[in-house]
A and B are shown apart, each in its own frame.
Chain A
Amino acid sequence: MAKIGVFICHCGENIASKVDCTKLAAAIGEHPGVEVSVEYKYFCSDPGQESVKKAIRDNNLTGIVIAACSPRMHEATFRKACAEAGLNPYLCEIANIREQCSWVHTDKDMATEKAMDITRSMIEKVKRNNKLQPIEVPVTRRALVIGGGIAGIQAALDIANAGQEVVLVEREPSLGGHMAQLSETFPTLDCSQCIMTPRMVEAAQHPKIRLLTYAEVEHVDGYIGNFKVRIRMKSRYVDIDTCTGCGDCMTKCPVKKIPNEFDCGLGKRTAIYTPFAQSVPNIPVIDKTSCIYFKNGKCKTCMKSCQINAINFDIKDEFIELEVGAIVVATGFQVQNTAGYGEYGYGKYPDVITGLQFERLASASGPTAGKILRSSDGKVPETVVFIQCAGSRDPSKGVRYCSKICCMYTAKHAMLYSHKVHGGKTHIFYMDIRAAGKGYDEFTRRAIEEDEASYLRGRVSKVWEENGKLMVRGVDTLLGKPVVIEADMVVLATAMVPQPNAKEFAKIIGIAYDEYGYYNEAHLKLRPVESSTAGVFLAGACQSPKDIPDSVAQASASASKVLALFSKEKLEREPVVAATNEITCAGCWGCVLACPYNAIEKKDIFDRSGRLVKRVASVNPGLCQGCGTCVTFCRSNSIDLAGFTEKQIFAEVMGL
Chain B
Amino acid sequence: MITQEKYRTRVKELLASNSVKMVIGYKQGSTADRRRPLFVRSFEEADELVLDSNCIGNLAGYLVTEGLLSDEKRVGIFLRPEGIRSINILAAESQLNPEQIIIFGFDTSGREVKALQGEQAEDFSGLIDSLKEKPPEKSSDALLYRIDQMNTEERFAFWKDEFSRCIKCYACRQACPMCYCRRCIVDSNQPQWINTSSHTLGNFEWNIVRAFHLAGRCVGCGNCDRACPVNIPLRFINARMAQEVFESFDHYAGTSQTQEPVLASFNKDDSETFIL
* Chain A residues with a Cβ under 8 A of chain B: 506-507, 510-513, 515, 583-584, 586-591, 593-594, 596, 612, 615, 633, 635-638, 646-647, 650-651
Contacts and interface: CB of A to CB of B under 8 A. Distances in A.
Interface in B179-218: 180-185, 188, 190-191, 193, 213
Nearest to A503: B273
Interface of B: 70, 93-95, 180-185, 188, 190-191, 193, 213, 260-261, 263-266, 268, 273, 275-276
Contact of A615 (B94, B193, B261, B273): B94
Q: Is the interface of B mostly helix, strand, loop or mixed?
A: loop
B193 A636 contact: no
A633 B264 contact: yes
Q: What are the nearest 5 A-B pairs in CB distance?
A: A650-B191, A590-B264, A636-B181, A584-B183, A594-B264
A636 B93 CA distance: 13
Nearest to B89: A588
A49 to B, nearest CB: 34
Contact of B260 (A512, A593, A615): A593
Contacts of B188: 584, 636-637
B266 A587 contact: no
Most A CB atoms within 10 A — which of B183, B264, B273, B275?
B264
Contacts of B95: 586-588
B185 A647 contact: no
Contacts of A512: 273, 276
A507 B273 CA distance: 10
Contact of B213 (A591, A615, A635): A635
B180 A586 contact: yes
A513 B273 contact: yes
A593 to B, nearest CB: 5
Contacts of B264: 590-591, 593-594, 633
Contacts of A635: 181, 185, 213
A78 B170 CA distance: 47
Nearest to A613: B70
Contacts of A513: 273
Given A507-B268, A510-B276, A633 B191 contact: no
A587 B96 CA distance: 11
Given A511-B276, A596-B276, 14 more contacts: A507-B276, A512-B276, A584-B182, A588-B94, A589-B94, A590-B263, A591-B264, A593-B264, A593-B265, A615-B94, A636-B181, A636-B188, A637-B185, A637-B193
Given A646-B193, A650-B191, A633 B276 contact: no
Contacts of A615: 94
A611 to B, nearest CB: 8
Nearest to B185: A637
A588 B94 CA distance: 6
Contacts of B190: 646-647
Contacts of A633: 263-264
B94 A636 contact: no
A584 B181 CA distance: 8
Nearest to A630: B264
Nearest to A615: B94
Nearest to A612: B70
A650 B193 contact: yes
Most B CB atoms within 10 A — which of A513, A612, A637, A638?
A637
Nearest to B183: A584
B253 to A, nearest CB: 14
Contacts of B182: 583-584, 586, 636
